[in-house]
């Protein structure tokens, strides 16, 4: 029978085949890198590259040229060499691959702040595509595949996260998720590649054995039949092993294909709701555009969802999103598609609509579904929805324009408050664009010294002596001029800039009030928003403002509107109770225009009620009755009363007759610049002494 064939699997043979695989596909990687880097630099630079973009591309091209030369040398002089040092070959290949990956990783780090959002997206797609290919092509060396994938995906993902905002946070998180998935895929691909190499050697070895045994059978035809039967049995066993190993390899290939399909599904699906994600939505709209038939895009934003997250936790918020997704999926018309845009926003691609009225009716119906009560662990949650609508082809002919138009309509509907469903109007775009522009400028307004604090006196009805000054913030934009408070204050509240703005006004008002002259200088009254209170820093900010300015605590008054208490009474009231305990006086502004619940009013930790100017203007019989009722209510509860918007002598006299203790308005003074306050106070002191 001859000497048995050695079936060992030498590590040197496996390393040699791994090196062959790496170098075989290395040329394709160089070509892809050349094309991708040239296209990326051309798009990022807006044409032929120059400056830092050109330097980066020259470095990349030089590295790729060196790598191409190395691959040519390997194929011509190393691949067929009899005595190869495969470990050294793999080290050289890994070093070249790592250098290329480092150059790729440098692109987002160096240029993310310079390139446009579209170029960032293209960069992410190119790097993700190359990382996906690397998971397979570099599979023979798993550590090399992981390092290459990490260098391509993680720097760009971190840059997205550092920029911030939902439109950057989502790609950043997806990039990290993509890295984790591709790392797992690289591990599986590495295992499959090594096993494939091993199976290839086994199969070759088995074929050699089969051939040797066949020759032995031919040479032993004259031997006994029993020996022939034994050899046939051995041959059948060898074939069975080949079949088993081949089936194993096929199963691994099928498993890899299934994994790739699952990865593709995850890349286009929102994991929380099971709906399509942004990329899936873009494909849906692109498909609808290709059909050419009219359709609509509904942009749905959930109102009051943030309160659910803040009060009941993110688990409850996730449950609400899942239930809303189920309701919308059931309620949308047949043939339409629903996707989750991100956060608490959903988008519907509405097919088969024949009019604007039809789209509005469907949107109203969907909003009713959203606003139904939701049970979360035995507790009922109420939310609402605001819906913006855009129509193809009237409002856009691309997915980006249609989504943006629907978003603009939703934003306008949210500002209206009374109408939660709105169709896109081209005039909205200009209005919303201005709002977005001012919102972006507002955060820099303090640093640019565009904001100022002015002061309007509050005087005693008995002797016209100034008892307090209300601090009012004003904004003069260098290009747009004065921006009314009723425009930029809501912008600040929506963007979160109200926290920094409110703190700055508080610090500035206390600093300037501490410098007002006189033996009994007036107090300063500062408006605060519910957002400042709920953020949890108001007491700390007040103590810091008083401490730095030296203003006595009794000279600081804080004002807030009734709406600040609505829905948050249990969180707001303790804060003001703590402030009153520190000696700070509290005023309730615009009384009579909010919820004005007596059940809340008698529990409020306040000192003063301010009557809104709508009840002062004209002083008709009806408004006199309202003012009289407010004064009586304040007397019963032990509150002082201030009337706002006093402009006429007749209004002043009527308010005195009704028992209003303090007044504020143009009759006494318009808002004064900080430098004019000491002059006005000095003049008023002289007038009072003359009157006496």
Predicted confidence at residue 348, as pLDDT, reads: 96
Task: Report how far apart, in Å, the C-alpha atoms of 184 and of each of 148, 152, 263, 340 are.
Answer: 14, 16, 11, 26
Q: Is 111 exposed, middle or buried (0-12, 13-18, 19+ CB in 10 A)?
A: buried
C-alpha to C-alpha distance for 60 and 159, rounded to whole angstroms: 21
Helical segments of 220-292, H only: 225-267, 278-291
Cβ neighbours of residue 172 under 8 Å, at least 6 residues apart? Answer: 157, 158, 159, 160, 161
C-alpha to C-alpha distance for 544 and 549, rounded to whole angstroms: 8
Residue with tokens 């020259």: 58
Peptide bond into 393 cis (omega under 30): yes
Contact in structure between 345 and 270 (CB atoms under 8 Å)? no
β-pairing, 466-477 vs 481-483, is: antiparallel
Contact in structure between 353 and 294 (CB atoms under 8 Å)? yes
Predicted confidence at residue 380, as pLDDT, reads: 85
> Helix-strand-coil percent breakdown of the chain, rounded to 5?
65, 15, 25
What the block records as the tokens of 687 is 């007038």
b/e burial code for range 635-656 (CB count within 10 A of at least 16 → b)? eeeebbbbbbbbeeeebbebbe
Predicted confidence at residue 186, as pLDDT, reads: 74
C-alpha to C-alpha distance for 692 and 680, rounded to whole angstroms: 18
DSSP 165-189: SHHHHHHHHHHHHHHHHHHHHHHHH
| Angle 215-216-217 from CA coordinates, rounded to 5° | 90
Predicted confidence at residue 402, as pLDDT, reads: 93
Angle between helices 426-445 and 399-416 (to 10 degrees): 70
Strand (E) or helix (H) holding 303: strand 295-303
| Angle 427-430-436 from CA coordinates, rounded to 5° | 140
Q: Is 3.20.20.450 the CATH classification of the domain at 454-469+514-691? A: yes
What the block records as the tokens of 266 is 């995850």
**Collapsed DSSP state (helix, strand, coil) of residue 332:** coil
According to DSSP, the residues that pair with 526 across neighbouring strands are 471, 558
Predicted confidence at residue 592, as pLDDT, reads: 64
Strand (E) or helix (H) holding 380: strand 379-381
Low-confidence ranges of the chain (pLDDT < 50): 1-9, 595, 689-692
Alpha carbon 527 to its chain centroid, in Å, reads 30
C-alpha to C-alpha distance for 663 and 643, rounded to whole angstroms: 5
Strand (E) or helix (H) holding 459: strand 451-460
Q: Is 424 left (phi over 0), alpha (psi -120 to 50) or beta?
A: beta
C-alpha to C-alpha distance for 29 and 148, rounded to whole angstroms: 12
Q: Give me the residue spans of the domains in the chain.
A: 11-267, 278-424, 454-469+514-691
**Do the domains 278-424 and 454-469+514-691 sit in the same CATH topology, yes or no?**
no
Contact in structure between 333 and 326 (CB atoms under 8 Å)? no
HSE-up of residue 149 (Cα within 13 Å, Cβ side) = 29
β-pairing, 374-376 vs 379-381, is: antiparallel
Q: Is 3.40.30.10 the CATH classification of the domain at 278-424? A: no
Cβ neighbours of residue 232 under 8 Å, at least 6 residues apart? Answer: 217
What the block records as the tokens of 455 is 């002061």
C-alpha to C-alpha distance for 182 and 690, rounded to whole angstroms: 85
Q: Find the Cα–Cα–Cα–Cα dihedral 515, 516, 519, 521, rounded to 10°.
A: -120
Measured over the CA atoms of residue 312, residue 314, residue 319 and residue 320, the dihedral's sign is positive
């Amino acid at each position: 029978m001859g000497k048995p064939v050695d079936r060992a699997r030498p590590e040197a043979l496996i390393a040699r085949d791994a090196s062959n695989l790496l170098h075989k596909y290395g040329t394709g990687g160089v070509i892809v890198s050349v094309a991708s880097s040239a296209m990326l630099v051309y798009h990022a630079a807006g044409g032929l590259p120059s400056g830092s973009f050109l330097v980066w591309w020259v470095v990349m091209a030089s590295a790729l040229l060196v790598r191409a030369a190395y691959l040519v040398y390997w194929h011509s002089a190393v691949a067929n060499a009899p005595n190869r040092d495969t470990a050294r070959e793999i080290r050289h290949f890994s070093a070249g691959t790592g250098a290329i990956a480092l150059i790729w990783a440098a692109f987002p780090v160096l240029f993310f702040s310079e390139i446009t959002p579209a170029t960032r997206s293209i960069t992410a797609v190119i790097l993700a595509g190359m990382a996906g290919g690397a998971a397979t092509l570099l599979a023979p060396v798993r550590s090399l595949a992981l390092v290459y994938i990490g260098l391509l995906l993680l720097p760009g993902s971190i840059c997205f996260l550092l920029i911030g905002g939902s439109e950057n946070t989502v790609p950043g998180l997806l990039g990290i998720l993509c890295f984790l998935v591709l790392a797992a895929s690289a591990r599986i691909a590495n295992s499959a590649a090594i096993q494939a190499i091993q199976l290839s050697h086994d199969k070759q070895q088995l074929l050699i054995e089969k051939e040797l045994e066949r020759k032995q059978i031919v040479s032993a035809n004259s031997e006994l039949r029993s020996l022939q039967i034994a050899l046939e049995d051995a041959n059948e066993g060898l074939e069975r092993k080949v079949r088993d190993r081949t089936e194993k390899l096929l199963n691994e290939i099928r498993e890899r294909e299934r994994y790739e399909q699952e990865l593709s599904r995850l890349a286009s699906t929102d994991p929380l709701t099971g709906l399509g994600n942004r990329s899936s939505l873009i494909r849906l709209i692109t498909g609808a555009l290709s059909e050419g038939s009219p359709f609509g895009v509904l942009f749905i934003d959930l109102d009051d969802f943030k309160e659910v997250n803040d009060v009941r936790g993110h688990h409850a918020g996730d449950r609400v999103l899942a239930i809303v997704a189920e309701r919308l999926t059931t309620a949308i018309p047949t043939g339409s598609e629903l996707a989750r845009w991100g956060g608490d926003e959903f988008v519907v691609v509405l097919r088969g609509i024949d009019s604007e009225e039809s789209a509005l009716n469907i949107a109203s119906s969907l909003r009713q579904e959203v606003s139904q009560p939701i049970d979360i662990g035995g507790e009922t949650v109420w939310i609402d929805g605001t819906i913006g609508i855009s129509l193809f082809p009237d409002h856009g002919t691309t997915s980006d324009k249609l989504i943006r138009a629907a978003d603009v309509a939703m934003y306008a509907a949210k500002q209206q408050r009374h109408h939660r469903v709105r169709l896109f109007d081209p005039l909205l775009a200009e209005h919303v664009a201005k709002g977005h522009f001012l919102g972006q400028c507002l955060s820099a307004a303090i640093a640019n010294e565009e904001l100022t604090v002015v002061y309007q006196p509050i005087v005693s009805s008995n002797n016209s002596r100034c008892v307090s000054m209300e601090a009012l913030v004003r904004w003069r934009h260098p290009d747009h001029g004065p921006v009314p408070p009723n425009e930029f204050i809501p912008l600040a509240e929506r963007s979160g800039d109200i926290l920094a703005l409110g703190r700055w006004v508080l610090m500035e008002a206390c600093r300037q009030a501490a410098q007002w002259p006189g033996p009994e200088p007036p107090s300063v009254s500062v408006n605060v928003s519910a957002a400042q209170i709920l953020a949890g820093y108001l007491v700390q900010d007040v103590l810091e403002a008083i401490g730095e300015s030296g203003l006595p605590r009794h000279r600081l008054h804080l004002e807030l509107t009734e709406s600040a208490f609505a829905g948050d009474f249990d969180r707001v009231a303790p804060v003001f109770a703590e402030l009153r305990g520190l000696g700070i006086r509290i005023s309730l502004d615009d009384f009579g225009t909010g919820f004005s619940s007596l059940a809340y009013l008698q529990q409020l930790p306040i000192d003063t009620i301010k009557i809104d100017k709508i009840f002062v203007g004209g002083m008709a019989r009806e408004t006199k009755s309202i003012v009289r009722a407010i004064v009586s209510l304040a007397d019963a509860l032990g509150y002082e009363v201030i009337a706002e918007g006093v402009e006429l002598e007749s209004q002043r006299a009527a308010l005195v007759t009704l028992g209003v203790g303090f007044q504020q308005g143009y009759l006494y003074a318009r808002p004064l610049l900080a430098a004019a306050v000491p002059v006005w106070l000095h003049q008023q002191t002289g007038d009072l002494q003359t009157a006496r």
